[in-house]
A and B are shown apart, each in its own frame.
Chain A
Amino acid sequence: ETGVTQTPRHLVMGMTNKKSLKCEQHLGHNAMYWYKQSAKKPLELMFVYSLEERVENNSVPSRFSPECPNSSHLFLHLHTLQPEDSALYLCASSPNFGLFYGYTFGSGTRLTVV
């Protein structure tokens, strides 16, 4: 356990479904992140939250909708996804936004869109 817990670990969904990914951290960190990792591609930063405020959105399609209700929880709401959205979705947290050390990642959710 890294201190960042992601659920579910695996998810298979149809293109018309709506699902949510959940991330929870017990480290007292102030920043949380969503990353996407497709097969044989580098990690892509999707969203950044600092003190529950979204500070960065890297041109992510609107079918991905993040939510950060408090500094310990982060959600990624999914709807009408495409097969190319199949990937490993990783949540991370860090003590404060902008630091390069202290990033703690969860184990990820392996998403398959059929």
Chain B
Amino acid sequence: LAKTTQPISMDSYEGQEVNITCSHNNIATNDYITWYQQFPSQGPRFIIQGYKTKVTNEVASLFIPADRKSSTLSLPRVSLSDTAVYYCLVGVSLDSGNTPLVFGKGTRLSVIA
């Protein structure tokens, strides 16, 4: 399981774009990059996953440079309801994988009105 490093906390005003960068220098060839979101007193929720370049869905975008040693989760025009902890995880996402999801400390995003 590749070690990841992400900021402990971030603050943002409503309506701004928020970028959370995660470092994963020892990412392996088969590893995927996955982000989860957790609201207070709830379980984490899958947001987005990618392998390389850019992935976009209705919630966020994920930018992955060519060397894949880091990734950036981008949340467009955040609102107060985006206040949560965001977790970056790196590991195998193939059927042959045998590693369960293990979470780090994540990034606590606080959106201010």
Contact = CB atoms under 8 A, between A and B. Distances in A.
Interface residues of A, number: 29
Contacts, number: 72
A107 B42 CA distance: 5
A99 B95 contact: yes
Given A45-B101, A101-B46, A102-B46, A108 B96 contact: no
A92 B44 CA distance: 9
Nearest to A102: B46
Contact of B43 (A94, A98, A105): A105
A96 interface: yes
B104 A92 contact: no
Contacts of B100: 31, 33, 45, 48, 56, 97-98
A90 interface: yes
Nearest to A101: B49
In order of increasing CB-CB distance, the 10 nearest A-B pairs are A105-B43, A98-B97, A43-B103, A100-B34, A100-B93, A90-B43, A98-B98, A101-B49, A48-B100, A42-B105
